Structure formats: C-alpha cells, structure tokens
Amino acid sequence: MYGNSGKDLGDTLTGGDPTNTTLGGQSGSGNDKMSALKAYGYAYLNYLLGVACFAEVILTLGEAGEMAIEEGEEDLEAGTMDLEEAEASVKAAIDSAANSTEAEAETRTTQQMLQDMANQADQNVPGSGTISGTLKHTNLASQVTALDDPYLASEVSYKDGQIVKYGTPGGVRLDVVEYNTDGSIKAIYDLKTGKAGLTQSRITQIQDAVHADVPVIEIRPNK
C-alpha cells in the first residue's frame, strides 16, 4: 500500500537486509556501502510514514480514501506518471473524497434532524387522512422555522429555478430546502405521511422546478 515503494527501494539497495553493507547484495566501496545504508534508512522511514498516513486516511475517509490511494499507486506502477505526479494525484483524490465524506455526513445529520421533527409532528397531530397530513406538514414547517437556520427553509415555492409566491401557477411547493453557503440548493426533503411514497415523477417535477439535479429525500414519520 502507500509507502511500499520506499521499502522496496531500500530492499533493492541492501538485498532486503538493513545490516547488509553491500550495495544490492554485491560488494562495493565504503562510500557505496554508506550510501546504501542511508538510502535504506530514508526509504524505510518513508515506508513507515506512508503506513501511518494510510492508516489515518482509512480511519478518516474509509473506503473512498483507500480507493484514492490505490488509483494513485496503479498509475505510478503503470508508468503513466512519475512519483511527483502520482503524489499530487493521490492528494487531489483524497481531498475530493474528504469533501465528499464531509458533505455526506452533514446531509445525514440534517436528514436525521428532520426525521426527528417529522416524528414529533406525527405525535403533535394524531390521526391520518388529508386534513391530518396537511396539519403535520404545517407542524414540521413550524419546527424548521423555529430553528432560525439560514440554510434551511420550509414551505418554499419554486418555478423556473426561482422562488415564487405560494399559489403561483406552475410553482412547486417544497416542504424543506437545505442550502449551501453560496445560496445554491444542497438538498430537498419531501415529507410523506400517507401510504403513497416519493415517486420518480415527483422527484423530476421538483428538480425541474428548481433547475438543479439535487438530491430529493423522502422524510416519513416512524410508526
């Protein structure tokens, strides 16, 4: 794994034995022997640092980080890029994986919070049917508004990628919208309280209204 190239270099220089004072397992001058030992030391240190780096990446990023490292190693072994390019490629891939992992964690946190709110709305408004479902939506919206979170909005209507007034012809009412810091939409949450679930046609309708291919996530009270 990451850092193995350093150990392999040391093994090549010393025949796999750090106590071997011959270069590549062959006799040589004193300077050659000293150079070999130094090279092995530096290479093995790189190996140990690589192992530590790899362990930290796996713990932090999980499978995504491991895949990023493996892809960089494959490019290096195939000879399609040199060591410096491979390191840069791996770093870029790991950074991308880290950002993706962080975004997913934030989304999961928001989704769980809204799930808890949906459960609370279901408790606050007992019963089933159209009227009860409408009241549950209203209760969830009140809870979201009470958060005073600038990146969460409830009961927002969109048309042609723009926020419009409720009741605007062609507008689509969204239960909860989560925004990025730049104002773009990060995710949309659709509350379902009846037997019908979130359909692909509804997802397409929502994405068309906001003009963005964003996640549309169903929120349903736990029974």
Position with higher pLDDT, 9 vs 208: 208
Confidence (pLDDT) at 118: 95
- Whether residues 69 and 24 fall in one domain: yes
Cα separations (Å) of 78 from 1, 3, 90, 124, 181? 15, 16, 15, 62, 41
Q: Which residues have a Cβ under 8 Å from the Cβ of 156 and sit 6 or more positions away?
A: 163, 173, 174, 177
Average pLDDT over residues 61-73: 56
Provide, rounded to the nearest whole percent, the portion of the chain with pLDDT above 90: 45
Q: Does pTM top 0.75 for this prediction?
A: no
Lowest mean pLDDT among 58-67, 155-164, 178-187: 58-67
Reported confidence tier of residue 184, pLDDT bands at 50, 70, 90: very high
Position with higher pLDDT, 85 vs 140: 140
- Is pLDDT above 70 for 1? no
Task: Give burial (CB, 10 Å; 0-12/13-18/19+) of 18.
Answer: middle
Last residue of a domain, one of 102, 119, 149: 102
- Whether residues 59 and 133 fall in one domain: no
Average pLDDT over residues 82-105: 62
Average pLDDT over residues 17-33: 51
Residue-wise pLDDT for 46-57, tens only, equals: 555 555 555 555
Phi–psi pair at 169, nearest 5 degrees: -55, 130
Residue-wise pLDDT for 137-156, tens only, equals: 999 999 999 999 999 999 99
Confidence (pLDDT) at 7: 47
- Whether residues 116 and 169 fall in one domain: yes
- Whether residues 91 and 165 fall in one domain: no
Last residue of a domain, one of 86, 102, 118: 102
Q: Structurally, how many domains does the chain consist of? A: 2
- Whether residues 135 and 41 fall in one domain: no
Can you name the residues that pair with 189 across neighbouring β-strands? 176, 217
Average pLDDT over residues 93-113: 67
Report the alpha-carbon angle 194-198-202, nearest 5: 120
Reported confidence tier of residue 109, pLDDT bands at 50, 70, 90: confident
Confidence (pLDDT) at 195: 86
- Whether residues 168 and 128 fall in one domain: yes
- Whether residues 90 and 150 fall in one domain: no
Average pLDDT over residues 171-186: 96
What is the four-CA torsion angle of 199, 205, 206, 207, rounded to 10 degrees? 110
Domain that holds residue 90: 4-102
